[in-house]
């Protein structure tokens, strides 16, 4: 997506953050988490609406394996921003455990917790099998049933199990809930859009992942939406890969590590920690034409450039798809001389966008 600077004013737009807790070369998990906690504190200060942690497993470049744990740590560093998961991959977990985790988060930060739920594995087939050694809770076909269970379990009323012999057994995620996390369905397919519509739940299309099928998914969700107690009308926002720097040249350079990682994933190359900018630049000759084509395709869908240009492109993107919020995944590489326990490039992306869009 081209983002050359212009002088046209950009209207306000609500922004949120999706964090995979990236791990760069030479960085420990502790340092990567520390950098993300600095980033969530910045997002809170700068006026971003929400901050979600993803769930991915056994990936050298990603430390976001347990969204509820990271959200709890983020709650201790923030006071205003909504926190949650983008998302919990439900087939990997017991619905009751997920409900209890997010009900506990709601008790820690009342009115600030989002429970985003997806049904993708979040890893390779071997790790998926290890995660799903929990019997029927791992049955993807029971995903709709498990979503209903979680919505009931986190409510103040709780859920009631019915015995075949008669009678019921009450179950609550916490003993005395006075507020509940907001449940969102996530996905990148028609299935998730239609399920969210039938349940009357808010929905997020994972545009940052591929972007294919976005228009159809939104149309299905909006046209098939059934009002519920939780939501009277369709509610959605979009995700996007975003990188902002003071100059477009710096932005393009900082995009290289994540673009090369994307190409590795698409071409089944060995994965490692995220390269630094210098490593990515030095390794440019390592890729063949196929890998280069994946980088070019990904770059065309990302929002990369100077502040004004990216802000205008994001606003046009939101307007085109009828949303008032975009959740950015800050795909910002680091230079070798930058500290391991911080991510100044990612923080700078948030600062520049907040200033340009007048978020705070």
Q: What is the CA radius of gyration of the chain?
A: 20
Largest pairwise CA distance in the chain:
71
320 by DSSP, 3-state: which?
A: helix
What does pTM read for this prediction?
0.91
Kindly report, residue by residue over 295-337, the tens digit of the pLDDT: 999 999 999 999 999 999 999 999 999 999 999 999 999 999 9
- How sure is the predictor about 140, in pLDDT bands with cuts at 50, 70 and 90? confident
Q: What is the bridge-based pairing of β-strands 168-171 and 159-162?
A: antiparallel
Q: Nearest-CA neighbor of 242 among 352, 155, 161, 322?
A: 352
315 three-state secondary structure: helix
* Residue 9 pLDDT: 45
pLDDT at position 141 is 79
Give 236-256 pLDDT, tens digit per residue. 999 999 999 999 999 999 999
Q: Across the chain, what does the average pLDDT equal?
A: 90
Cα(345)–Cα(151) distance, rounded to whole angstroms?
38
pLDDT bracket for residue 153 (50, 70, 90): confident
Q: What is the pLDDT of residue 59?
A: 92
Residue 6 has pLDDT above 70, yes or no: no
Q: Is the pLDDT of residue 187 over 80?
A: yes
pLDDT at 165: 60
272 CB-near residues (< 8 Å, 6+ apart): 25, 60, 61
Per-residue pLDDT tens over the stretch 55-83: 999 899 999 999 999 999 999 999 999 99
Say whether 304 sits in a helix, a strand or coil.
strand
3-class state of residue 302 by DSSP: coil
Query: What residues does 184 pair with on adjacent strands?
Result: 116
| Residues facing 161 on adjacent strands | 169
In Å, how far from its chain's centre is CA 111?
A: 19
Question: For residue 1, what pLDDT is reported?
Answer: 58
Residue 66 to residue 128: CA distance in whole angstroms: 15
Q: How many CA atoms lie within 13 A of 232 on its CB side?
A: 0
What percentage of the chain reaches a pLDDT higher than 90? 73
H-assigned helices in 154-247: 190-199, 214-224
The predicted-structure confidence for 204-233, as pLDDT tens digits, reads as follows 999 998 778 999 999 999 999 999 998 999
pLDDT mean over 279-291: 92
Identify the pLDDT of residue 60.
94
Instruction: Give the pLDDT score at 190.
Output: 93
Domains of the chain, start order: 14-357 (3.20.20.30)
Tell me what the mean pLDDT of segment 14-31 comes to: 97
């Amino acid at each position: 997506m081209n983002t050359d600077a212009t002088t046209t004013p950009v209207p306000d737009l609500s922004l949120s953050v999706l964090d995979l807790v990236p791990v760069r070369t030479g960085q420990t998990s502790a340092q990567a988490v520390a950098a993300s906690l600095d980033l969530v504190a910045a997002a809170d200060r700068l006026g971003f609406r929400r901050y979600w942690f993803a769930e991915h497993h056994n990936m050298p470049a990603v430390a976001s394996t347990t969204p509820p744990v990271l959200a709890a740590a983020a709650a201790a560093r923030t006071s205003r921003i909504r926190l949650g998961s983008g998302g919990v991959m439900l087939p990997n977990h017991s619905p009751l455990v997920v409900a209890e985790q997010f009900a506990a988060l709601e008790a820690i930060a009342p009115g600030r917790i989002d429970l985003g739920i997806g049904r993708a594995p979040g890893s390779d087939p071997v790790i998926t099998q290890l995660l799903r050694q929990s019997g029927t809770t791992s049955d993807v076909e029971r995903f709709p049933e498990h979503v209903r269970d979680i919505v009931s379990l986190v409510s103040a009323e709780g859920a009631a199990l019915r015995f075949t012999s008669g009678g019921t057994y009450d179950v609550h995620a916490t003993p005395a809930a006075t507020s509940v996390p907001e449940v969102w369905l996530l996905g990148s397919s028609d299935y998730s859009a239609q399920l969210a519509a039938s349940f009357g739940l808010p929905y997020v299309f994972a545009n940052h992942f591929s972007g294919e099928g976005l228009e159809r998914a939104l149309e299905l969700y909006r046209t098939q939406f059934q009002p519920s107690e939780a939501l009277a009308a369709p509610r959605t926002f979009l995700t996007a890969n975003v990188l902002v720097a003071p100059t477009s040249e710096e932005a393009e350079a900082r995009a290289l590590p994540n673009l090369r990682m994307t190409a590795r994933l698409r071409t089944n190359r060995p994965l490692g920690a995220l390269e630094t900018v210098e490593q990515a630049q030095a390794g440019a000759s390592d890729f063949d034409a196929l890998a280069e084509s994946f980088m070019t395709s990904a770059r065309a869908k990302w929002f990369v450039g100077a502040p004004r240009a990216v802000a205008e492109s994001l606003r046009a993107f939101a307007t085109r798809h009828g949303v008032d919020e975009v959740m950015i995944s800050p795909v910002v590489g680091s230079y070798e001389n930058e500290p391991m326990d911080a991510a100044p490039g990612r923080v700078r992306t948030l600062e520049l966008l907040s200033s340009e869009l007048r978020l705070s």
